[in-house]
Amino acid sequence: MLENWVYDYDTLRKFAIDASGKPIPRDLVEKMNQARYFNLGMEEMRQLGLSNVSLQYYVQPAPADLGAAARAYQAKYDILPPAPSLSSKIPSAISQRTARPFTPIGNR
């Protein structure tokens, strides 16, 4: 919440200046705002696919081919087909989401 000022042109132009004293260009701030949410939907769909893999491993008997099963479970959430080099490595590619770690207030 507190860092949202970074995307507000009116706030940035007051102190974001170059060596000659010119404020940050409005079009640059607009590009920053456009880039801010780029790829978030893809990231969420990937996480949903990985969650589905985990859920299906839990609720169904173990499949003979874990990799093929993982690809099939995750395919329901793929917007784009997976990269060929990764298609055989899905089980080892599953990891915990670390982009936004949780830190309790008392443990900072």
pLDDT at 67 over 70: yes
DSSP string, 25-40: PHHHHHHHHHHHTTTH
pLDDT in tens, 14-41: 999 999 999 999 999 999 988 888 878 8
Per-residue pLDDT band at 108 (split at 50, 70, 90): very low
Give the mean model confidence (pLDDT) for residues 79-96.
60
Integer angstrom CA distances of residue 12 from 17, 28, 33, 79: 8, 11, 13, 36
Give the mean model confidence (pLDDT) for residues 80-98.
57
The pLDDT, as a whole number, for residue 81 is 74
| Residue whose structure tokens are 């060929």 | 84
Give the mean model confidence (pLDDT) for residues 74-79.
88
DSSP string, 91-102: HHH-----SS--
d(CA 28, CA 24): 7
d(CA 91, CA 73): 12
pTM of the predicted protein model: 0.49
What does pLDDT average to over the chain? 80
Q: 64 or 4: which carries more pLDDT confidence? A: 64
